[in-house]
Structure 1
Amino acid sequence: MALKFLNAIIVFLLNMNWGIGDYTNIRCIESEREALLEFKYSLTGESDWLSSWGDEDGKEECCKWQGVQCSNTTGHVIKLDLKAHDLRGKLSHSLMELQSLEYLDLSFNYLVEDENLKWLSYLSSLEYLDLSYVYLYKANDWVEVVSGLSKLSTLKLSRCYLPTRNLSPSFFNASTSLVTLDLHQNYMSLSTSSILFEYLFKSTYKTLVSLDLSSNNVNGLVPSSFGKMVALRDLDLSDNQLEGMVPESFGNLCSLRSLNLSRNHLNGSLAFLHNFSSCANSSVLEILRLHSNSFSGSLPDDLSLFPRLKEIDVGNNYFNGTLSSSIGNLFELEILNVPSNSLQGVFSEQHLSNLSRLRILDLSSNSVTMKLSFNWFPPFNLEFLSLRSCKSGPYFPNWLATQKNIRYLDLSGNGIIGTIPKWFWDFTPDMHYLNLSKNQIHGRLPMLPTKFPSLLVLDMSSNSFDGPLPPFPTDLTILNLSNNFISDSIMSFCNSKSMLFQYLDLSNNQLSGVLLDHCVSRWTRLQFLNLANNYFSGEISSFFDSLPHIENLNLRNNSFSGELPWTLRTCETLKFLDLSDNKFSGNILHMIGTRLLSLEILIMQSNEFKGRIPLSLCELMDLQVLDLAENNIFGNIPQCFKSLRTINLSGNNLARKFSDIISSLYALNVLNLSRNNLAGELPQSIEEMTQLMSLDLSQNQFSGEIPMNLSKLAFIKHLNLSYNHFSGRISSSVQLKRFNADSYIGNDALCGPPITQNCPLEAPSDEFKKWLYIGLAMGFFVGFCGTFGSLLISRTWRHAYFSMLFKLKEWVLRRFALYRAGIQWSLQKGG
């Protein structure tokens, strides 16, 4: 007994670090050292972080290894922290030997568990477990195992691809003391009535402080049982499929500090926020994120219930009404995001004058009017300001001159008129994003590299800027100057040092010149290029060599000339190509269909292309729009365009019967074959083009009657069959009645509404002939009976028979007269 007491005193003194013995010399347990080495040797690559682990002299003491911590008294490994050290391979089960382990973090590595997590159940002392980004897709026992770790307070299994099949309810017998649970980005497709939720609401509702189930496809209604988790401080259910209203029981969560319900399908009002009034000392809520849902109604009028709010993010919903001036009492507010709603009214100094900590303000895409006095001096210094589609004009906001830290500025569509004040170009050197588009600003652009050297995105489109193109900052990646009056040679732009362009839109200006190789060769990162509606000219022989990543290319309405170069084949990522209204010539390249396999839209109209349509275009499985109109293309239309939505081949010399190609056009929405040499009759099978919305076959050589089945095209909005050789009566169907005479003019043998030419008197219809024949047959029979039956029957019966014969004759003649009258009336009315 005395010996045990002495040992206890020694251990106590060691723990108190009173100098009895040298606890730093306590060696790790041999079996645990071997377990750690086995874990290391199971990895597929050597990590520098584990270089201190080994059997060599000087490396045997595992308590000194990187990421390992041992108990000062027992020598057992109690902490293993290998977070984010590029470890790769299978997760070795040897770690089950570390049965005194309290802290295990293997997160953010490249580890895989191919079997189950049963080995974890041996680590009964675990209090902290983080296996985030460890691949656990086969670990069907994960819920049962972790719920059996009774001392576990922190569990983080984010992006582990956890399975939800075969979840067992047996773990309900276990009691845990979980404080933090993070399962985000597992995409588990959970129902809100699933076993996992039952576990949360029955076993952890008293202890849980932080819960993150974001990005898990959680569906169904938000359970009202969340209101029982009164200790909860952080709740994240964002990026799921939740629907319905937020339960009013959320108002019981007086300890809630952060609530994130963004990107779901939630709706209704924010009535649950009013319930926070029951909290004794007002709510401690600091972060409220509800964006990208279907919430509606007004925002709370009295935000004094939440005096500690630092972030309000309710963008992309259906909120209406005005923004309450009580926002001005949120002295801690740093972020106010309310974009893309239906808010109205005035946003004034009363909202902003007390918000000294405000960093981010986004009121964009609302009908809000900014009413701030010209000399107003704000108490804050913004980093992000977006007022897109608000009304801050007509003058440029003078208060911005005080915002020296602003990096993101969007004043697009603000009704600003006039020039940009000089102070603007010097007020902040750290601008990264600048959008002043869709205003009425005029003047010239300054030397931007000296004004905004860090600029990455610049959008000045749809204004009245003029003069030459200035140099641009070196790191600029997105530039949009479209819809202005900039007039200059492209040469000055080519001399710019900017080389990182990914998006470049100079369309609808007055730019000119030839795109020289040394200019385009600097645009190797371009994905979007729009030079449409300018005065560019010359050939583009080496143009495409420098655009290996281009996806969208628009050269419409310039004076480019020459044949398309074979270097076009290098643009294999191209999805949209518009070369229309230029002077390009030569054949349509065969390799467009063999190399540009991502092409979705191909527009080459109004050029000088010639030859036949290459059959290789049929290989473009993603092609939706094909426009080769107004060229010199001849031959037949290929019979293989089955995935297209729009075809425009008008104004060429194509010659083929329409019936030969219709079998491949059933998916079309728009078809224009006008001004060609197409002939033949329209087949009845045209009714199978059920998606057709626009059909133009004008100025061809079509003949025969217009098929009655054309009226079965339920979606057709535009029809032009003019100037062909169609004949016969135009159908009187409701579907075709809405088209005016212009749709049929120039077909001399057509008659009937809506054109003025009357149809000739027609022979009796089949129905009339049927009744006529019936009447004649009955008349013959009755006459026969009247003539020969008189020898057999009495005078009274003869009288009755002849009376019936007379009435039948009158009935037949009356029907015929009515039929004739109907024809005449129809002709008098025009059809």
Structure 2
Amino acid sequence: MRACYLQFLLLLALLSCNATKFGFSFDLRDSKVRCIEEERQALLQFKQHLVDHYHWLSSWSSIDEDCCKWEGIKCNNKTGHVVMLDLPSDYGWYAEPATKYLEGEISSSLLGLQYLTYLDLSYNNFSGKPFPNFIGSLTRLQYLNLSSTNIAGAIPQQFGNLSRLISLDLSRNYDMITEAHNLDWLIHLSSLTHLDLSLVNLSQVVNWPNKVMMLPSLTHLSLRYCSLSTFTTPPQLLSINASTSSQLLFLDLSDNYDLMEVYNLDWLIHLSSLTYLDMSGVNLSQVVNWPNKVMMLPSLTHLSLSSCSLSTLTTPQFLSINASTSSQLLFLDLSGNYFTCSIFHWLFNSTTNLVDLHLRYINGLHECSIPDAFGSLNSLQTLNLAGNMLVGGIPRSLWNLCSLDSLHLGYNRLSGNLYEFMSNASSCLTDSLQHFVISDNRFTGPLPETIGNLSNLETLNIDNNSLTGVIYEAHFSNLNKLKWLDLGFNFLILRFSHDWVPPFQLYVISLSSCRLGSAFPKWLQSQKNYIVLDISNAGISDTIPVWFWDFPPRLQYLVMSNNQLHGNLSDLSSPRFNELAGIDLSANLFGGSISHFLLNNVSSLDLSNNRFSGPISFLCELNTPTLLESLNLSNNTLSGELPNCWTYIHHLVVLNLANNNFYGKIPDSMGSLVSVQLLHLSNNGLVGKIPTSLKKCNELITLDLGANNLSGTIPPWIGDSLPNLVILNLRSNQLYGSFPLSLCHLSYIQILDISLNKIEGTIPECIYNLTAMSRTMDTISSAIYASAIYAIAISASVIYPNLGRNSYIDHASLVWKGREFEFKNSLGLLKVIDLSNNKLRGEIPEGITNLTELIALNLSRNNLSGLITSKIGLLRKLECLDLSRNQLNGEIPMSISNLSFLNQLDLSANNLSGKIPIGTQIQSLDASRFLGNPKLCGSPLPNKCIDDLHPSYINTRGDKNQNVQENVDDRFITKGFYVAATLGFIGGFWGVCFISVLNIRYIMKHLTSNARMMLHVAAAL
């Protein structure tokens, strides 16, 4: 009893010391002191400038005269002055539902609190309001935290007046301005022990080391992601005086990639007291002998060197560090570097006291297995080996680590049956394990019911394996602490009784592709705190019950796509959604009109592929700007004119209204969508001209207006005002006029489709300027396209890594190999030009062959004439080439046989002649692709060429292909040549014969005459 009493007195003493440190005290006496009236009025004025979403400040009332009892307020018990204003929001912490969150501005009424020593407004949102310069006048401040408050402007020099400051946190204010000498005020803060400027851009600050590291009392310094570099960091950093820096305990310089590119780490030797060092994301590849400089710090317990471009190939001494120099380490993170399997050997010999070990996404560990020796790290609490392509199973030794509370093995190639591993789990592990993540592996078999023995489990993530079987209530009977449940993308069946009430309250529920039964899962009614709910592709065929629409107050992501949910949606106009929520109800059977959504609180809404009908006039009922970034209503039967009220939705990045029944003109107000990057209005009944107002949408990456009845000319401003276009689809409209030369300015374009219109004139020579079609897939245009997809990822992706699977992915409908297909996941890889079904004339410009990365080229059904350029073979990536139904003449160039990827070729209905070139791909094509060219011959056509009928003209070596090539290339050797040669041969032959006959008769005559003479001579003798 006495020991408890002494501990209680000690606790009171510690509280009293800490409280006195910040200017207020605890007093057990019944104090009669109340707050000062002037300070009470100042607080009420401060409240008037705030928006209190959760009625957090309900105790701040003009009725209650004692402000010292208000939420977040502490007063000095002797004087009554307000000394503490402690209002940090809990909005930034996803693990708990928000109950505290403020918006508005920081009012200068706080100047009425001149005795304030403690001010914390972190994680509230002040919406880019100017930096509160007046805070520099609160000279008694000792603790100031404005982290993540979204304030902007320069840090005022008046901060130098806060000479009593002990702790200053201005981190995560991305829009704060820092100029060359913006940190000069720091030199006056001699009492400062804690400084955090993380995620504040300090790239322009000159000589920051002298201003920061020379603070005599500084023990904690965090400059993470401040854009520090060797170009703005002078060599003084390398010569920090030991007397001014030896007291530093905590140093975070992470995510400043260029900070140490050419400098070494010699300055570390002065930081002998350092216990925490984080240099993750700093390029240390050029630093010589870094292990001996880092690992020799005598007090170091926390070391993070992730993504530092380190390698065992360039720093082999890392593996030979003496155990005595590194055994004090408790936390080690070497993720994102290049190490081979030998890294494991060093770990087991040098870091025996490790508590937290992170080796995520290390190149070089693929095909390695998890060593059984991990079981020797008896102090290990966290083991993270995610993303290494490790093979094999989970060693049994891991199940004997009694201190292990977090095991992350996701994104590997581990395999086996979970029964084999979990049946060996020790009783101490079942009591300690809190986070079990094996997502994205190759585990098979059922999920053992013994998972329910892990009574302290908070995270269960087995997403994307090949697990099978049935999940029963017994699996979860003891998991009353479970917060994160991800069973998605397996072959699991969830079979619960209708009235089952789970023992847990989940924050993340991800059951995509699990079979939940045809009825809507009633057990969800008991869940009051979830932030993410994903029950997509779950086989549900039901209406949504009324109780479901009473969402938890902090819902950020709702996915129920790819089911057979039906009926009409509830009216969702009441403020049930948390700000920046994402909703995906696509690919269901919902019908009727679209009910009213409170779009002010929604960032992403996907109702595509349903049966909604009627107008979308609910968009016009908005009276304030929204934060909606993605709206997808495609593939429904919506109708009516497009509303002319897009002014309040100007934050849209994605707008997809394709494949509906909208009619009328494209409204001019769409030009107010200045942030839109992906715009789909195709396959409707829109008429009129393309509005000039769209030229203001200069962020556009996809402009899809195909399959409408738009008229007029193609606006020249498309090429001048939309410089980032990657996809332009104007297919199947009533557009006329010429091909605008300005389209040649679209250097990022990858898909250009203006087919099925009435475009006249010639294809401009400048088409070779479409340079994205001449670069490999690793191009700027592909990066721009990818950035558009990334830009519309909703904020919940920060807390739910699998959201990428459900985020909006752009698509396009293209004619491919004679049929219309919709491309989605591979869309960013396509490079296509389709100018077919127009009235184009003239020759095909030779410059088009400069677009060497083209995959499909369709110029069919025009009035093009002239020869097919002999350089057509330069388009070596071509898979589809359609030049049919034109007036092309001459021979097919031999170089076309170089197109080894070509599997769709149509040259029919032209005036081509000569022999079809011989090539592996060409002869395998259907003969119909060459019909309509009466002077064309050779395989695959049935009519043979003359050289095929006279094989004797093949050279004696049997080199048929050589003779064919020579005959095809020599355009002077025609059929007439062969006829003349044949007649000449016959005439010459018979001429020779006739002369020979005459000569024989003459010879015989002379021989006869000579014989007679010889006889006469003989007789005379």
TM normalised by structure 2 equals 0.64
Q: CA deviation at 1:437?
A: 0.7
2:891 maps to 1:705:
yes
1:188-220 residue CA offsets vs partner (Å, 9 max, x unmatched): 4443762683586545332111123345x3443
SS at match of 1:663: helix
- Does the aligned pair in 2 maintain the 1:442–1:464 contact within 8 Å? yes
C-alpha contact 1:635 1:654 (8 A) present in aligned 2: yes
**Which of 215, 234, 239 does residue 114 from structure 1 map onto?**
234
2:166 to 63, 66, 81: 66
Displacement of 1:654: 0.8
* Secondary structure at the counterpart of residue 737 of structure 1: helix
Task: Give the Cα separation in 2 of the matches to 1:513 and 1:702.
Answer: 45
What does 1:408-807 correspond to in 2, within 5 Å? Answer: 408-426=532-550, 428-450=552-574, 452-454=576-578, 456-473=581-598, 474-496=600-622, 499-517=626-644, 519-642=645-768, 643=771, 644=773, 645-658=831-844, 660-731=846-917, 733-757=919-943, 762-763=949-950, 765-767=952-954
More displaced 10-residue stretch of structure 1: 335-344 or 613-622 = 335-344
Partner of 2:13: none
The residue aligned with 2:331 is 210
What amino acid does structure 2 have at the position aligned with 1:51? N
- Residue 268 of structure 1: CA displacement? 0.7
After superposition, where does 1:48-197 map in structure 2 within 5 Å? Answer: 50-53=160-163, 66-67=166-167, 80-84=193-197, 90-93=207-210, 103-105=219-221, 107=223, 113-115=233-235, 116-122=237-243, 126=247, 128-132=249-253, 137-138=259-260, 143-147=265-269, 149-150=271-272, 152=273, 154-159=275-280, 161=282, 163-168=284-289, 171=292, 176-184=297-305, 187-191=308-312, 194=315, 197=318
The one of 389, 393, 403 aligned to 1:266 = 389
Q: Distance in 2 between matches of 1:671 and 1:627?
A: 10
Equivalent residue in structure 2 for 1:379, among 503, 527, 532 = 503
| Whole-Å separation in 2 of the counterparts to 1:430 and 1:750 | 71
Per the TM alignment, residue 420 of structure 1 is displaced from its structure 2 partner at its CA by 1.7
Query: Paired residue for 2:406, among 284, 287, 292?
Result: 287
Contact kept? 2:241, 2:270, Cα under 8 Å: no
Taking the aligned partners of 1:138 and 1:121, their CA distance within structure 2 comes to: 20
Q: Is the 8 A contact 1:148 1:171 kept in 2?
A: no
CA offset digits 1:355-402 (Å, max 9, x no partner): 111111111222222222323221111111011122212222121121
- 1:334 to partner: Cα distance: 0.5
The within-5 A match list for 1:327-342 is 327-342=451-466
Rounded Cα–Cα distance in structure 2 between residues aligned with 1:173 and 1:513 = 68
The 8 Å contact of residues 236 and 261 in structure 1, kept in 2 or not, is answered as: yes
CA contact (8 A) 2:224 2:255 kept: yes
- Return the offset for 1:688: 1.7
**C-alpha deviation, 1:700, in angstroms:** 0.9
CA shift, 1:568, in A, is 1.9
Instruction: Measure the CA separation in 1 of the matches of 2:642 and 2:280.
Output: 48
* Distance in 1 (alpha carbons) for counterparts of 2:213 and 2:944: 96
Q: Distance in 2 between matches of 1:489 and 1:45?
A: 50
Amino acid at match of 1:167: V
**Within-5 A mapping of 1:235-384:** 235-244=357-366, 245=368, 246-263=370-387, 265-271=388-394, 273-276=395-398, 282-299=401-418, 300-302=421-423, 304-305=425-426, 306-307=429-430, 308-384=432-508
Relative to structure 1, is the Cα distance of residues 579 and 765 closer, same or farther in structure 2, using a 3 angstrom cutoff?
Answer: farther
Aligned counterpart for 2:356 among listed residues 234, 259, 266: 234
Contact 2:737-2:758 at 8 Å conserved across structures: yes
TM-score relative to the length of structure 1: 0.78
* Partner Cα distance (2:665, 2:291) in 1: 75
2: CA distance, partners of 1:195 / 1:627: 55
Shift, 1:143, TM fit: 3.9
User: Structure 2 counterpart of 1:183, which letter?
Assistant: S
Taking the aligned partners of 1:590 and 1:531, their CA distance within structure 2 comes to 25
Shift of 1:443: 0.3
What is the deviation of 1:755? 4.0
1:91/1:195 Cα in 2 relative to 1: closer, same or farther (>3 Å)? farther
Closer/same/farther in 2, CA of residues 701 and 173 from structure 1, 3 Å limit: closer
Structure 1 residue 256: deviation in Å? 0.6
* Residue identity matched to 2:406: I
| Aligned mates of 1:389, 1:672 — CA distance in 2 | 40
Preserved contact between residue 284 and residue 310 of structure 2 (Cα < 8 Å): no
Larger mean Cα displacement after TM superposition, 311-320 or 155-164: 155-164
- Tell me, in whole angstroms, the C-alpha distance in 2 between the residues paired with 1:375 and 1:191: 57
Q: Could you tell me how far 1:132 is from its partner in structure 2?
A: 3.2
Distance 2:584 2:529 in 1: 20
C-alpha displacement of 1:744: 2.0
- The alpha carbon displacement at 1:159 in A equals 5.0
Q: Which residue of 1 aligns with 2:345?
A: 224
Distance of 1:762 and 1:178 partners within structure 2: 91
Q: Distance in 1 between matches of 2:311 and 2:333?
A: 14
Provide Cα deviations, 1:721-780, integer angstroms capped at 9, x if missing partner: 12222334445543223211331233333345444445568445533689999xx99xx9
- What is the identity, as a one-letter code, of the residue corresponding to 1:530? N
CA contact (8 A) 1:224 1:247 kept: no
Identity of aligned residues (%): 34
Q: Is the alpha carbon distance of 1:768 and 1:225 closer, same or farther for their aligned partners in structure 2, counting shifts above 3 Å?
A: closer
Residue 481 of structure 1, CA deviation: 0.6
Instruction: Report the 3-state secondary structure (helix = DSSP H, G, I; strand = E; otherwise coil) of the residue aligned with 2:735.
Output: strand
CA distance 1:482–1:162, change in 2 (3 Å)? closer
Q: Is the 8 A contact 2:464 2:490 kept in 1?
A: yes
Separation in structure 2 between the aligned mates of residue 420 and residue 702 of structure 1, nearest angstrom: 61
**Pairwise CA distance, 1:634:** 1.0
SS across alignment from 2:347: helix
Q: What is the distance in 2 between the residues matched to 1:153 and 1:141? A: 20
Q: Secondary structure at the match of 1:259?
A: strand
CA contact (8 A) 2:225 2:255 kept: yes
Deviations 1:790-826 (A, max 9, x none): xxxxxxxxxxxxxxxxxxxxxxxxxxxxxxxxxxxxx
Decide whether the 8 Å contact of 1:118 with 1:141 is kept in 2. Answer: no
CA shift for structure 1 position 513: 1.7
Q: What is the alpha-carbon distance in structure 1 between the residues aligned to residue 895 and residue 225 of structure 2?
A: 64
Q: Within 2, Cα distance between the matches of 1:439 and 1:176?
A: 58
Distance in 1 separating the partners of 2:213 and 2:759: 75
SS in 2 for 1:465: strand
Q: What is the CA deviation profile of residues 677-720 of structure 1, one whole-angstrom value per residue up to 9, with x for unaligned ones?
A: 11223243222211110011111112233334323211011111
| In structure 2, distance between residues paired with 1:200 and 1:680 | 74
One-letter code aligned to 1:734:
T
**Contact persistence 2:633–2:656 (CA under 8 A):** yes
Q: Which moved more, 1:439-448 or 1:756-765?
A: 756-765
Structure 1 residues 329 and 270: alpha-carbon distance in aligned structure 2, compared to 1, 3 A threshold: same
Matched pairs, number: 711
Answer whether contact 1:370 1:390 (CA < 8 A) is retained.
yes
Contact in 2 for aligned 1:224/1:249 (Cα 8 Å): no
Structure-1 residue corresponding to 2:35: none
